[in-house]
Amino acid sequence: MPTIALLGTGLLGEAIGCRLLERGVTLRVWNRTPEKCEPLLERGAVLIDSLDGSAKGCDAVITVLRDGPVSAEVIAELGDLDAACCLPMGTMGISESRQLELQVQGQQGVYLEAPVLGSKAEALKGKLLVMAGGDASVYQQQLPLLKLLAEEPKWMGPTGRAAASKLALNQLIASLTHGYSLALRLVQASGLEVERFMEVLRPSALYAPTVDKKLERMLSHDFSNPNFSTALLRKDLRLFVHEASLAGVNAEALEGLVELLTCAEGTSLDAGDYSGLHALTAGSFD
């Protein structure tokens, strides 16, 4: 089994680490807040005390960090990558990923962007949706590792295409959640029972499973224990709008949604589950 360095042990990173340890991988772990590594250390991982030189002896470096700039900063601290393959699994911009590839190559490493869709539950079961972008030969080399985390990893093509796919998917998360929230608000305002509405929606072509996954949270206004926070959704939607502009895509209609999500800043909603967007569509949110 390979030796892997895992940088970033938050909600998703910790779950990925647990899965890799379960599958027999030798795991080295790092987090800016070392205490967040404890659950993985208790399962047999080894703590990375200093990033500088820590890629030596590793087959791959997986990063699960907030965004592209943070990923680039942390990877830079590794110094010589000693031919290890860097696999960033967080969300970043298309141009950010392409620039990070050049940085990694300059650090004597190999690059394969590998953003994932899914959270803790999927990671623990090895059922993440992994999108890989980069050189096809590098993808083939890393496929055994990716298959520990995903049943069917997907190669999307050259670097940037997997990043684009992940941004597109996260935009759909925001837009679908917003659309369902508005629908529920109007249904409730009319006096119609939500379940009666759902009986019509579920068998229709308009239905998406995410609405039932988030329906209870929306109706109860319980956004605790998030799989993906409102703050991160807003960050990714802003990034989508930026990349869309660079690509000549008119995404002006999303600006209002970005502005709505910005209303969560400074409130408890920001750290809560992104379905907290439903609270923002109330006419008198404050």
Binned at pLDDT 50, 70 and 90, residue 286 comes out as low
Binned at pLDDT 50, 70 and 90, residue 186 comes out as very high
Rounded distance between C-alpha atoms, residue 71 and residue 67, angstroms: 6
**Residue that finishes a domain, picked among 107, 131, 158:** 158
The predicted model gives 205-214 an average pLDDT of 94
Compute the mean pLDDT over every residue in the chain, rounded to the nearest whole number: 96
* DSSP result, 83-146: TPEEEE-S---HHHHHHHHHHHHHTT-EE-B--EE--HHHHHHT--EEEEES-HHHHHHHHHHH
Neighbours of 106 (CB within 10 A): 10
Neighbours of 193 (CB within 10 A): 10
Domain that holds residue 202: 163-280
| Residues 230 and 247 reside in one and the same domain | yes
pLDDT of residue 57: 95
**Residue that finishes a domain, picked among 104, 133, 158:** 158
pLDDT, tens digit, 9 for 90 and up, residues 124-139: 999 999 999 999 999 9
Rounded distance between C-alpha atoms, residue 17 and residue 123, angstroms: 9
The tokens describing 42, both together, are 């208790």
pLDDT, tens digit, 9 for 90 and up, residues 146-174: 999 999 999 999 999 999 999 999 999 99
| Residues 186 and 224 reside in one and the same domain | yes
| Residues 222 and 139 reside in one and the same domain | no
**Residue that finishes a domain, picked among 158, 174, 201:** 158
Minimal CA–CA distance to 120: which of 29, 30, 268, 229?
229
Task: Assess whether pLDDT exceeds 90 at residue 285.
Answer: no
Q: Give me the number of domains the chain comprises.
A: 2
pLDDT of residue 190: 97
- Look at residue 39 and tell me if it is in a domain: yes
The alpha carbon torsion through 39, 229, 170, 117 (nearest 10 deg) reads 20
| Residues 85 and 107 reside in one and the same domain | yes
pLDDT, tens digit, 9 for 90 and up, residues 37-93: 999 999 999 999 999 999 999 999 999 999 999 999 999 999 999 999 999 999 999
| Residues 21 and 41 reside in one and the same domain | yes
The tokens describing 28, both together, are 């080295």
